[in-house]
Amino acid sequence: MSLRLDDQLCFPLVAAARAVQAVYRPVLAELGLTYPQYLVLLVLWESDGQSVSALGQRLHLDSGTLTPLLQRLERSGLVRRERSQPDQRVVIVHLTPSGDALRERAACIPSQIVGALGSAPDVDLAAFKATLQRLTEALVMEPG
Amino acid sequence: MSLRLDDQLCFPLVAAARAVQAVYRPVLAELGLTYPQYLVLLVLWESDGQSVSALGQRLHLDSGTLTPLLQRLERSGLVRRERSQPDQRVVIVHLTPSGDALRERAACIPSQIVGALGSAPDVDLAAFKATLQRLTEALVMEPG
DNA sequence: CACAATTCAATTGTGCACAATACATATAGG
DNA sequence: CCTATATGTATTGTGCACAATTGAATTGTG
């Protein structure tokens, strides 16, 4: 194994992740969202009223990342946070009506993004995604 | 296109990038490096004495990211920054002897990482890397 | 019941990513 | 030469990622 940048696997992966987020950025900016905020909303649109730790498991993020992010979403009026009655340690995140309504405005985003990605030729998206998921799962289970 | 998290391409990509960086983290911590700092050193080990903007082009990073990162590497004694004589706007980054010497200690990193990734079965690394690079290039050239 | 261990969120601190701006230097046109 | 424009880095501000710690609340065990 060499130390040449072009021989590394990780750099293309990280660079691609940054590049794709850059495609989302202007689209999401119109909704006043960042990409990680959008991910949180995706999860809540699927199933509202989840705890911080449940969101963290789904997105592989910890409370140090989620707490301030959720506070910003709360200041934007998109979510509401409240302690669970049965377990006061747990904070449940709910969509507000405005957060729920944003779902309709976001509906067109996936196709917009796919359109922008369309110029990447000959990429088997399904297989590519499967590879990414296998890789992530293998690493998350890892030594640590 | 749906808004379900599992249907998105981008999230697996971003999650995989984070997971791979997490594999590097403890390995690089022994050298006192972060992953982006390691990338900068990879580029300098290939070819010492590059400008900030040249590093930025190679790594797709701007001065707002690189300037403080390089200042930290300078405080660590691994690089030296000096203005180019012919063009005083340009800052050239040089490896110090200690930065150059670190290359030997880093030599074993790629194989360590490949070992950790080895548990991700059935991933054709070469094809996967090619896909990532095609994707990144297509996006970098894009509209913006 | 009491107390230890665990769980969950929040906080703090460091570092990266990027937009916007500022500022110095360099180059070109007149 | 002198000014307009372009270039290269640095700075500032916002937001994300993560380690480490804190503190409250819950659960398990004796």
pLDDT tens-digit map of A30-77? 999 999 999 999 999 999 999 999 999 999 999 999 999 999 999 999
Q: Rounded to two decimals, what is the model's pTM?
A: 0.94
- What does the pLDDT average to over B102-119? 89
Q: Which two tokens stand for residue A74?
A: 């709360």
Q: What band does B120 get if pLDDT is binned at 50, 70 and 90?
A: low
> Which of B16, B26, B42 is facing A136, going by the closest CB pair?
B16
Interface list for B 4-63 with A (CB within 8 A): 4-5, 7-24, 26, 35, 39, 42-43, 45-46, 58-60
Rounded to the nearest angstrom, the gap between the alpha carbon of residue A135 and the centroid of all alpha carbons in its chain is 17
A5 has pLDDT over 90? no
B122 has pLDDT over 70? no
pLDDT of A144 reads 43
Does nucleic acid strand C have an atom less than 7 angstroms from the CB of B100?
Answer: no
Taking every pair of Cα atoms in chain A, the longest distance, rounded to a whole number of angstroms, is: 56
- What does the pLDDT average to over A75-97? 97
Taking every pair of Cα atoms in chain B, the longest distance, rounded to a whole number of angstroms, is: 56
pLDDT digits (tens, 9 = 90+) for A95-136: 999 999 999 999 999 999 988 877 566 678 889 999 999 999
For residues A143 and B2, which has the higher predicted lDDT (pLDDT)? Answer: B2
Q: What band does B100 get if pLDDT is binned at 50, 70 and 90?
A: very high
Q: Which of residues 74-113 of B touch strand D (CB under 7 A)?
A: 81, 87, 89-91
CA angle A113, A18, A103 (to 5 degrees): 40
A29, burial (CB in 10 Å: exposed 0-12, middle 13-18, buried 19+): exposed
Q: Which two tokens stand for residue B61?
A: 């990073």
